[in-house]
């Protein structure tokens, strides 16, 4: 193949969506080896109904330049999946995007353009099929079929099955963020799946970040903090027990709560604890300030299949602060056992005490030095090496 001159990232979230962060946007922002294009995912009918303005501007392509990335919002994003309407909309928009790239690079743009799509973009099956990229990379970010909200929803499960069938068959390269995923999906689809883990912007987490934390003004120290998605892989009973075992500590939760994913009874029981504070999601720019307020950073994950197969972004971000990190026994922490304190539900509170007592400036500095090897630009380098 020719040298890669352009990369098209099929987004799993809109570029400006701040409630959660994701690997695809981080990779796109770090990709300086070629022209970078990012496609916001279609809103779908349900989300479009909550944003009426999306209908009025939903019949033409919109573009903006964000740093080194050209971001696109495609038309017809409100087309529903039912009656094949999403498929027909994808056929139209794929042809239009083909024309946009041809106008910029010439009709042979496929020869030197890489199209990247992640496992969370299962609604984009037909867009990629109709776009017909010559160089396609499929990145498995999580164990999709083990998530309760996927395997227990027949429509979503069918969509994922169709998506994986196409991507595992048509991609030139398949990568996954954990060894558990590489082994599982290699066996399932009888093809090679290579390891490409998550990364981090270490420098971003060195300082206090933008703005202050007024919503933490009344929260007393010491603070134990969890940041990230609050869904079925967070061990809520562990956090309830921790709040009870450490009544003089403040337990602060920062992240988007996925209603219907996590156990609602446990969630409400946790929020009813007087020393528990849920601050919702925070913009990425402000996150370092919150993390640096904590005495210890927590990764309380369950032993469920989709949890054990993950490679949490938070692990890399936590380690970048130099703060002590306490986690349940995830395979993802095996490379960092020297720095991460590991305990089960019963021993979690005691392990926090040990982490806070033992962690010092020397360990913090070594921890940051190790995690520098896992930057997003380093991941882009790995990806391009695999392509070659």
The predicted-structure confidence for 376-386, as pLDDT tens digits, reads as follows 999 999 999 99
Give φ, ψ of 117 to 5 degrees. -140, 145
Least reliable range by pLDDT among 53-57, 107-111, 153-157, 197-201: 53-57
Residue keyed to tokens 């009874």: 265
25-49 pLDDT per residue, tens: 999 999 998 999 999 998 765 665 5
> Where are the domains positioned within the chain?
6-196, 202-373
Q: What CATH topology corresponds to 6-196?
A: Rossmann fold (3.40.50)
CA distance 103 to 238: 55
CA distance 11 to 22: 9
Q: Structure pTM? A: 0.94
Superfamily holding 202-373: Glycogen Phosphorylase B; (3.40.50.2000)
CA distance 30 to 381: 10
CB 178 within 8 Å of CB 197: yes
Note whether 6-196 and 202-373 share their fold: yes
Mean pLDDT of 111-126: 96
Is residue 281 pLDDT above 80, yes or no?
yes
Least reliable range by pLDDT among 68-77, 160-169, 191-200: 68-77
């Amino acid at each position: 193949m020719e040298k890669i001159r352009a990369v098209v990232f099929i987004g799993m979230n809109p570029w400006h969506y701040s409630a959660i962060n994701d690997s695809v946007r981080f990779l796109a922002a770090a990709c300086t080896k070629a022209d970078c294009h990012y496609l916001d995912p279609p809103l779908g009918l349900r989300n479009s109904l909550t944003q009426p303005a999306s209908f009025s501007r939903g019949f033409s392509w919109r573009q903006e330049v964000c740093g080194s990335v050209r971001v696109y919002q495609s038309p017809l994003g409100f087309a529903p999946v039912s009656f094949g309407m999403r498929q027909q909309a994808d056929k139209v928009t794929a042809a239009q995007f083909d024309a946009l790239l041809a106008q910029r690079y010439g009709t042979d743009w496929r020869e030197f353009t890489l199209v990247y799509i992640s496992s969370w973009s299962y609604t984009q099956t037909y867009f990629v099929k109709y776009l017909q990229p010559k160089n396609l990379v499929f990145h498995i970010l999580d164990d999709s079929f083990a998530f309760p909200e996927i395997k227990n929803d027949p429509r979503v499960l069918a969509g994922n099955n169709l998506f994986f069938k196409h991507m595992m068959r048509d991609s030139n390269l398949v990568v996954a963020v954990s060894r558990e995923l590489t082994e599982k999906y290699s066996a399932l689809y009888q093809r090679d799946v290579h390891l490409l883990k998550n990364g981090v912007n270490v420098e971003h987490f060195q300082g206090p970040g933008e703005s202050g934390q007024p919503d933490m003004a009344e929260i007393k120290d010491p603070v134990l903090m969890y940041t990230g998605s609050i869904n079925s892989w967070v061990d809520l009973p562990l956090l309830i027990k921790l709040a009870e075992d450490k009544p003089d500590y403040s337990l602060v939760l920062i992240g988007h709560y996925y209603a219907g994913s996590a156990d609602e009874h446990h969630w409400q029981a946790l929020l009813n604890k007087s020393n528990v504070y849920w601050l919702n999601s925070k913009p990425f720019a402000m996150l370092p300030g919150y993390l640096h307020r904590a005495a210890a950073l927590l990764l309380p994950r369950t032993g469920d299949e989709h949890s054990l197969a993950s490679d949490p972004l938070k692990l890399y971000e936590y380690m970048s602060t130099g703060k002590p990190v306490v986690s349940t026994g995830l395979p993802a922490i095996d490379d960092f056992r020297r720095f991460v304190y590991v305990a089960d539900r019963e021993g979690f509170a005691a392990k926090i005490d040990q982490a806070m007592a033992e962690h010092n400036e020397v360990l913090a500095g070594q921890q940051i030095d190790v995690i520098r090897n896992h930057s997003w630009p380093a991941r882009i380098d790995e990806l391009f090496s695999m392509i070659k």
